[in-house]
C-alpha cells in the first residue's frame, strides 16, 4: 500500500455532534475550485480535458482534480448525492438535495477584468436567491417538480457551506506587495460578512465555513515565488504566502466568532483547513516541484519546448501525491482532508468529544 493511502486510513472514524447534525435535507455550497463541481466550465463554456476526472469519474467531471473533492466526501458522509453545479444544464441535474454555486477562480471581492471567474461570492449569493425564488415559484404551481427541487423548508433547515478566499490572496501576489495584500484582507472579509448576513436574513441558519489552506505550499507558487531558498519556510513553502494565509485565517476566525455571538439562533462552524493541509504536507514529502508540476506543461499534456517533446506523466500515480496539477489537491489528499474534518478536532465549536453515534463513512 502506498504511503499516502496508509496515512489516509490511520485517521480516526468520526462520530456526530449535537451541533453538527449531518442529517440536513439539503446543502448549498459557495466557493472556488476547491469545491467547484462544474460551474465554471458550464458558466463560461470552457473545456476541462483529461486526465482530469480519471480516478473516480473516468473522465472530466467539471472538477479540477483527478477525482472527488473535499465537498464530495463530506456530502457522501451526510448520505446525500453529489451536488450538481448551478449552471450545468445537461446531465439531468437534480437539485432536490441542494445546489453548488462554487466556481473555480472565484474571489470574495467583485471580479476584475483579469479575473478567471466572473462568479464572485456576491454573484454566487445572488444566484442562490434567484435559485430559491425560482424553486418556490415552481413548487407553488405544481408538485410535479418535487422530485427535482427542494421543499421550501429545506432552505431554512439546510446546510450552507463556504470555501472561498484563496484566490483573493493568491492572485494578488502577482501585482501587489505583501503589505498591500495584508491591508486588503479586512475589505475581503467585509464582503464575506455581507454575503453571510444576506443569507441569514433570508432564513439560513446552518453555516459551515472553511478557512484557506497554506497557499505557499502549492507547487505553482513555489515554482513562481520560491526560487530563492531564503523565502521558504520550514516546510519548503513560500513563507510570505503562508503568512498572508495565516493572517486571513485569524481574521476570518474572529469574524466567525463575532457571527456566532451575533446570531444566537444559528449554528456557525469554522473548519481549520490550513492546519489539516499543513499537517498532511509536513508528513508527506512528495508535494512539490519537480515531482508533480511543470509550469510549461499542464498535467497529462505533451508539448514541444525548445525542440524537445515533454510529457507530464506523474498524473498516472495520483495516490502517491498530495497535489494534482500545481494548484489543486488529488482525490487521495481530498479524501484524507475530509476524513480529518469529520473527526471534529479541527472545528470551532469542536465536536470531537460530543458525538452520540457513529458516522458510517463510505470511504
Model confidence pLDDT, tens digit, residues 45-88? 988 888 899 999 999 999 999 999 999 999 999 999 999 999 99
Tell me, yes or no, whether 145 lies in a domain: yes
| Structural domain boundaries enclosing 79 | 27-291+327-348
| Given the residues 328, 336, 339, 347, the one annotated as active site | 328
Domain for residue 83, yes or no?
yes
Q: Which helix (H) or strand (E) holds 208?
A: strand 206-210
In a domain, 76, yes or no: yes
Q: Is the dihedral of CA 72, 351, 271, 321 positive or negative?
A: negative
121 lies in some domain: yes
**pLDDT tens figures, 145-168:** 899 999 999 999 999 999 999 999
| Domain contains 134 | yes
User: CATH number, domain at 69?
Assistant: 3.40.50
Domain count, the chain: 1
47 in any annotated domain: yes
Q: Cell numbers at residue 63, please?
A: 472538477
Residue 3 known to be catalytic: no
- Note whether residue 299 is domain-resident: no
Say which of 33, 106, 117, 120 is annotated catalytic: 33
Q: 210 an active-site residue?
A: no
pTM above 0.85, yes or no: yes
pLDDT digits (tens, 9 = 90+) for 318-338: 777 888 888 999 999 999 999
| Helices (H) then strands (E): counts for the chain | 11, 8
In this model, does residue 212 exceed pLDDT 70? yes
Q: What is the pLDDT of residues 93-121, one digit of tens each?
A: 899 999 999 999 999 999 998 899 999 99
Nearby residues of 257 by Cβ (< 8 Å), 6 or more positions away: 270, 348
61 is catalytic: no
Q: Which of 263, 320, 312, 315 is nearest to 286 (CA)?
A: 320
Catalytic choice (278, 325, 336, 339): 325
What DSSP character marks residue 232? B
Whether 111 is in a domain gets the answer yes
Peptide bond into 349 cis (omega under 30): yes
Amino acid at each position: 500500500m502506498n504511503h499516502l493511502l496508509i496515512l489516509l486510513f490511520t485517521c480516526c472514524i468520526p462520530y456526530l455532534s449535537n451541533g453538527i447534525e449531518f442529517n440536513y435535507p439539503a446543502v448549498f455550497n459557495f466557493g472556488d475550485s476547491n469545491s467547484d463541481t462544474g460551474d465554471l466550465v458550464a458558466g463560461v463554456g470552457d473545456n476541462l480535458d483529461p486526465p482530469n476526472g480519471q480516478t473516480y469519474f473516468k473522465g472530466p467531471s467539471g472538477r479540477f482534480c483527478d477525482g472527488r473533492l473535499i465537498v464530495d466526501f463530506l456530502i457522501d458522509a451526510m448520505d446525500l448525492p453529489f451536488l450538481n453545479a448551478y449552471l450545468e444544464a445537461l446531465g439531468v441535474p437534480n437539485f432536490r438535495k441542494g445546489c453548488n454555486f462554487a466556481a473555480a477562480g472565484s474571489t470574495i471581492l467583485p471580479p476584475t477584468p483579469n479575473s478567471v471567474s466572473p462568479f464572485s461570492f456576491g454573484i454566487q449569493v445572488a444566484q442562490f436567491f434567484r435559485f430559491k425564488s425560482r424553486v418556490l415559484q415552481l413548487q407553488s404551481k405544481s408538485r410535479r417538480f418535487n422530485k427535482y427541487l427542494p421543499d421550501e423548508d429545506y432552505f431554512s433547515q439546510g446546510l450552507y457551506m463556504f470555501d472561498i478566499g484563496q484566490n483573493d490572496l493568491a492572485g494578488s501576489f502577482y501585482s501587489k506587495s505583501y503589505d498591500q495584500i495584508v491591508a486588503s484582507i479586512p475589505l475581503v472579509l467585509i464582503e464575506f460578512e455581507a454575503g453571510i448576513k444576506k443569507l441569514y436574513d433570508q432564513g439560513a441558519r446552518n453555516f459551515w465555513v472553511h478557512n484557506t489552506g497554506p497557499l505557499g505550499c502549492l507547487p505553482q507558487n513555489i515554482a513562481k515565488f520560491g526560487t530563492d531558498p531564503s523565502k521558504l519556510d520550514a516546510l519548503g513553502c513560500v513563507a510570505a504566502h503562508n503568512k498572508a494565509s495565516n493572517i486571513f485565517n485569524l481574521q476570518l476566525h474572529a469574524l466567525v466568532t463575532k457571527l456566532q455571538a451575533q446570531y444566537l439562533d444559528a449554528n456557525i462552524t469554522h473548519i481549520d483547513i490550513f492546519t489539516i493541509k499543513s499537517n498532511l504536507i509536513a508528513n508527506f514529502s512528495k508535494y512539490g516541484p519537480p515531482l508533480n508540476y511543470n509550469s510549461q506543461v499542464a498535467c497529462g499534456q505533451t508539448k514541444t519546448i525548445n525542440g524537445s517533446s515533454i510529457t507530464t506523466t506523474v498524473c498516472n500515480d495520483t495516490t502517491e501525491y498530495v497535489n494534482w496539477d500545481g494548484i489543486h489537491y488529488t482525490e487521495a489528499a481530498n479524501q484524507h482532508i475530509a476524513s480529518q474534518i469529520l473527526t471534529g478536532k479541527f472545528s470551532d465549536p469542536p465536536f470531537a468529544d460530543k458525538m452520540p453515534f457513529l458516522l458510517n463513512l463510505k470511504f
